[in-house]
Structure 1
Amino acid sequence: MPTRKPKSQEPSLDQAAVRRVVAVARRQFLVHGFRSVSMDDLAAELGMSKKTLYVAFPSKTALIEAVLKDKFKEVERDLEQVAKVQAANVGSALHQLLDCVQRHTAEIQPAFVRDIGRESPELFQLVEQKRRGLIRRYFGGLFEDGKKSGAIRSDIPTHLIIEILLGAVQSIMNPTKLVELGLTVEQGYSSIIRLVLEGALQRP
């Protein structure tokens, strides 16, 4: 009676390896764009087979989505740290907020913005959804604490300041408009937030 050959085991990745894949993909995608970085390129840099890579992420789109979620998770973690000090010192929180925005947006280069606009508009919708939530939650809280401390103008409702900020971000911080204006993500966000904050600050 012939013996059956055992089924070959599919390669697998533990959580530490998955995090490493996301970290390498994040560095490559956000700097060079994802159109010019292949799964073969990533597998070679990671020192694993493409088959193993596809077990963890069945498509490049799934990996891009994981990169975006990882990025937003890190942004939210940093904004949580800003929120811890804002009630006690709004001025310090504002500076930390700007530093946080500049640090995180500096990682996103024009190639990634171009690719997400041309190749994955559905993923850009994920970006828009995430950033709306972060702006409403963290900027809204900062403006409310700023009003209590006298650092933010009390004659403009907080929800209106947030809507102005959201409107500017939605109009400008999209791939088509950034390319048209010749702006990087860092330049666009920093300019919008500085203008809104300067308009919202209470003058001595």
Structure 2
Amino acid sequence: MKEKIRDTATQLFLERGFKSITMDDIANEIGMSKKTIYSEYSNKTSLVEDCVMNKFCILSDGIDLIIAMEKNAIEELYEIKKYVMSHLKDEKSSPQFQLMKYYPKIHKSLKMMQFNKMHKCVLLNVERGLQQGLFRDNVEPEFIARIYFTGMNSIKDLTIFPLEQFPVKNLMDSFLEYHLRGIVTPKGKTILNNIINSNQE
């Protein structure tokens, strides 16, 4: 029962935002009484927290599986981006922005978890790229990992990148290309261009 409530609420929150969706909306979507939801969750905040943390764990496990496939470093980043995008819908409601505004404590915890996960993943990715001769040997992995996280958070700021001007998918593609073009070797550039060209076909 709890899993059904959480899964339905997560889908609604991602589609329409944390602020817009009420407990009534969730109850109606599942076809149960609001009282049943409150028997599992004391309030909306506890439900939001459970949804957010569960989604983070699912994404985190999926990213680990992609990394375990040991693709080349450039393909790996595109596979991770594709995987994350498939799970976060189009983010038309900008759930991350709403989370920060209406549930700051949950957002703060999530951001720290995201930093730790992304920091570790990007460090491993840069090291792999260096070993494969795809990234320049004078890049500083620690700097790259931190600037990547900072950039990824900045593009989620709707005041800087409004959705109507910067659709999420295009923005993610542009950011990833921007990131990679700054660190690739000529060998890496060839792989990057091939991926970009194949994505445009």
Common fold: TM-score over 0.5: yes
Counterpart CA distance in 2 for 1:140 and 1:94 is 12
Q: For each residue in 1:108-145, what CA deviation from the matched residue of structure 2 results, as whole angstroms up to 9, or x when unmatched?
A: 32353453243222222233212211211112111111
Given candidates 167, 183, 193, the residue that maps to 2:176 is 193
Given candidates 123, 133, 137, the residue that maps to 1:154 is 137
Does residue 54 (structure 1) correspond to residue 75 (structure 2)? The answer is no
Deviation at residue 55 of structure 1 after TM alignment:
1.7
Q: 1:102 to 1:52 in 2, by over 3 A?
A: closer
Counterpart CA distance in 2 for 1:104 and 1:187 is 16
Secondary structure class of the residue paired with 2:50: helix
Equivalent in the alignment of 1:127: 110
Deviation at residue 59 of structure 1 after TM alignment:
0.9
Does residue 71 (structure 1) correspond to residue 50 (structure 2)? The answer is no
Deviation at residue 103 of structure 1 after TM alignment:
2.2
Structure 1: which 5+ residue stretches go unaligned?
1-16
Counterpart CA distance in 2 for 1:109 and 1:62 is 23
1:19-98 equivalence runs, <5 A: 19-86=3-70, 89-98=72-81
Q: For each residue in 1:11-67, what CA deviation from the matched residue of structure 2 results, as whole angstroms up to 9, or x when unmatched?
A: xxxxxx211111100111111112222111211222222122112111111111111
Q: 1:196 to 1:105 in 2, by over 3 A?
A: farther
TM-score normalised by structure 1 residue count: 0.79
Secondary structure class of the residue paired with 1:110: coil
TM-score normalised by structure 2 residue count: 0.80
Deviation at residue 161 of structure 1 after TM alignment:
1.0
Structure 2: which 5+ residue stretches go unaligned?
188-201
